Amino acid sequence: MIPMTLARIAEVVGGTLHDVDDPSAEVTGSVEFDSRRIGPGGLFLALPGARSDGHDHAAAAVAAGAVAVLAARPVGVPAIVVPPIPPTETNALALEHDSDGSGAAVLAGLAKLARTVVDTLTDAGLTVVGVTGSAGKTSTKDMIAAVLAPLGEVVAPPGSFNNELGHPWTALRATASTRFLVLEKSARGPGHIAALARIAPPRIGVVLNVGTAHLGEFGSQEVIAETKGELVEALPSAADGGVAILNADDTLVSKMATRTTGRVVTVGTGSGAAYRAEDIHLDDQARASFTAVVPGVDGQEQRVPVRLAVHGEHQIGNALSAIAVAVECGATVRQAAEALATAGPVSAHRMAVQTRSDGVTVIDDAYNANPDSMRAAVKALVTMARSGPDRRRTFAVLGEMAELGEDAVVAHDAIGRLAVRLDVTRIVAVGATRPVRGLFQGAVMEGSWGEEASHVPDADAAIALLRDELQPGDIVLVKASQSVGLWTVAEAVLADDPAGTGNDDAAVGTEDAR
């Protein structure tokens, strides 16, 4: 965060100082909601949690070096106390364990603080890039950070830190030396992305796709599209530098061109996209290479070869979006391609591919799941199995895709059927929920005798099945929504390496809010 006095922070958030001897004392360190991460010069956020209230850790945070605490009530140590929020004004973006509204009040103060810092840095040359979509936000955010890094300091969230807490927290990581702030934006209902965009107004907005993730919360795909489009509505005009990067392959996304005053740049595989991919090939790890065809000088198209370090054909659209962002920020297409060639997975449990010493390959894509990303992951599994001279056996260990509403069973049934049609050797449906049973039944009904599918109650049972059936050279995909925690299966399979260690083909990073 940029240095700011306690008096100024209180002014910005509309709070009052309590137990503060020196209002001119400056916050020069990071803003943290975990007292264990506080360092000298920091600001601690007193937020309610599942197991404890941050207000109870205020003294420990100050002892660890925090200059003050942003709190909803006095805490006996230097604090900026924010005013309560009337229930009628509480935004739908609220913490799960906020029984008394204190969390909403602190979040509101945090949002105001982040907005002030971002405005100050934007005036000094910071470019804010926002990314949204039903699938692929985190992977694309990581790619954008990679292609922008050669141009200057980049701040981007760890993992999927993309909600009402993670968004301002990430924005406050920016300092005077930061040139690019890359933020992904999630939503659980209409108005959420608009609210996040007000915290850190983007100049460039990327919309990847409109799928059926969180359909149970939105009600319809049309409402999802309306909500995702809030990002492009928040952009400045073309005259003021606003740029909307839209996936031309997704009709609901391409229609958003009418909802922005920013300049529209399209990406995709179709001939009408300004940035498009041709000559697509996948290697034996399902990593794509293609020719990026992009606008050039004097109306002449430029053709640049691109080879991705991440896995899955679905990453092509994400990469094209990253290339478009890089060019808009001053990079050449070749510079972006060079960055993407070494930009492997950064965030944990997202198409992280590792191979044991006996040749068993594990695809850990268990951080989150929806119908679109599930289909993409299963296709990547099959592509990897078919790439060599001998087809490898495949195991798809699949858990529930959460928040799909009344369509959940049908959506899971379709995934089970798809896995069988793609000739996955064994589908392992994990969990006792009705949607998971639907996935298993879909696979059984699509299969010849149902021998392709197994249904187990939990991760431990899935691990036991794999230990009994895996053979050298097999490939295992593990995927489910974050709430299932199915990455424990991937970790257990890797831990069973006969040589005692796996071969990391992908770096992993911090995971957090969805």
| pLDDT grade for 214, boundaries at 50, 70 and 90 | low
Residue 3 confidence class, pLDDT cut points 50, 70, 90: very high
Distances (CA, A) of 66 to 6, 76, 193: 12, 14, 31
Out of 341, 372, 405, pick the residue that ends a domain. Answer: 341
Domain membership flag for residue 108: no
Burial track 334-362 (b if 16+ CB lie within 10 A, e otherwise): ebbbbbbeebbbbbbbbbbbbbbeeebbb
pLDDT tens-digit map of 154-181 = 999 987 788 899 999 999 999 999 999 9
Name which of 211-220, 283-292, 376-385 the model is least confident about. 211-220
Annotated binding-site residue? 30: no
Whether 358 and 468 share a structural domain: yes
253 and 138 in a common domain: yes
The answer to whether residues 239 and 134 belong to one domain is: yes
Tokens (6 digits) for 501: 């260690």
For residue 118, being part of any structural domain is answered with: no
Tally of domains within the chain: 3
On the question of pLDDT at 362 being above 60, the answer is: yes
C-alpha separations of 235 from 64, 144, 267, 271, 275 in Å:
40, 18, 18, 26, 20
Question: Is the domain of 256 the same as that of 193?
Answer: yes
The mean pLDDT value of the chain amounts to 91
Nearby residues of 448 by Cβ (< 8 Å), 6 or more positions away: none
In a domain, 117, yes or no: no
The pLDDT, as a whole number, for residue 504 is 43
Question: In percent, how much of the chain has pLDDT > 70?
Answer: 94
Q: Residue 119 falls within a domain, yes or no?
A: no
**Residue 512 Cα distances to 38, 193, 237, 280, 509, angstroms:** 18, 18, 33, 33, 10
Tokens of 451: 């021998």
CB 26 within 8 A of CB 3: yes
How much of the chain exceeds pLDDT 90, in percent? 78
CATH number of the domain within which 57 lies: 3.40.1390.10
For CA atoms 94, 95, 97, 101, give the dihedral sign.
Answer: negative
**One domain for residues 462 and 481:** yes
31-71, pLDDT tens digit by residue?
999 999 999 999 999 998 778 899 999 999 999 999 999 99
Same domain, 55 and 188: no
314 and 370 both lie in a single domain? no
Residues 133 and 216 in one domain: yes
Structure confidence at residue 115 (pLDDT): 98
Q: Annotation-wise, does 266 bind a ligand?
A: no
335 assigned to some structural domain: yes
How far, in whole angstroms, is CA 478 from its chain's centroid? 18
135 is in an annotated binding site: yes
pLDDT of residue 448: 63
Q: Assess if residue 504 is contained within a domain.
A: no
- How many whole angstroms separate alpha carbon 482 and alpha carbon 400? 9
How far, in Å, CA of 262 to CA of 260, rounded?
5
CATH code where residue 428 lies: 3.90.190.20
pLDDT of residue 215: 66
Residue 89 above 80 pLDDT? no
Closest CA to 167 of 146, 192, 147: 192
Q: How many angstroms separate the first and last alpha carbons of the chain?
A: 23
CA gap 294, 245 in Å, rounded: 13
Q: State the pairing for strand pair 26-27/4-5.
A: antiparallel
**Can you give the pLDDT at residue 77?**
97
Same domain, 138 and 283: yes
Say whether both 151 and 250 belong to one domain: yes
Which has more pLDDT, 215 or 169?
169
Do the annotations mark residue 454 as ligand-binding?
no
Q: Is residue 404 part of a domain?
A: yes
- Please check whether residue 407 is in contact with residue 215, taking contact to mean a CB–CB distance below 8 angstroms: yes
Q: Phi and psi dihedrals of 277, rounded to 5?
A: -110, 130
d(CA 322, CA 147): 7
479 labelled as ligand-binding? no
Longest dimension (CA), the chain: 76
Sign of CA dihedral 325, 328, 331, 337: positive
Residue type, 278: E
pLDDT bracket for residue 450 (50, 70, 90): low
The CATH number covering residue 253 comes to 3.40.1190.10
Q: Would the annotation count 39 as a binding residue?
A: no
**Pair 79, 144 in one domain:** no
Confidence of residue 87 (pLDDT cuts 50, 70, 90): low
User: What average pLDDT does the segment 303-319 reach?
Assistant: 95
263-268: strand order across its sheet: 153-155, 178-184, 127-132, 204-207, 243-247, 263-268, 275-282, 287-294, 302-311
Q: Under 8 Å CB-to-CB from 395, ≥6 apart: which residues? A: 424, 425, 426, 428, 466, 469, 470, 474, 475, 476, 477
* Together in a domain, 375 and 460: yes
SS3 sequence of 24-84: CCEECCCEECCHHHCCCCCEEECCECCCCEHHHHHHHHHHCCCCEEEECCCCCCCEEECCC
Q: What is the mean pLDDT of residues 202-210?
A: 97
Cα 65 to Cα 41: distance, rounded to the nearest angstrom? 6
Q: What pLDDT score was predicted for residue 241?
A: 97
Domain assignment of residue 382, given as a range: 352-495
What is the predicted pLDDT for the residue at 501?
53
pLDDT digits (tens, 9 = 90+) for 110-155: 999 999 999 999 999 999 999 999 888 999 999 999 999 999 999 9
What CA–CA distance (Å, rounded) separates 67 from 452? 59
The residues facing 31 across adjacent strands are 43
Indicate the residue type of 500.
G
Q: What is the pLDDT of residue 374?
A: 94
Find out whether 177 is annotated in a ligand binding site.
no
Cβ proximity of 335 and 310 under 8 Å: no
pLDDT band, very low/low/confident/very high, at 9 (cuts 50, 70, 90):
very high
pLDDT score recorded for residue 513: 28
In a domain, 186, yes or no: yes
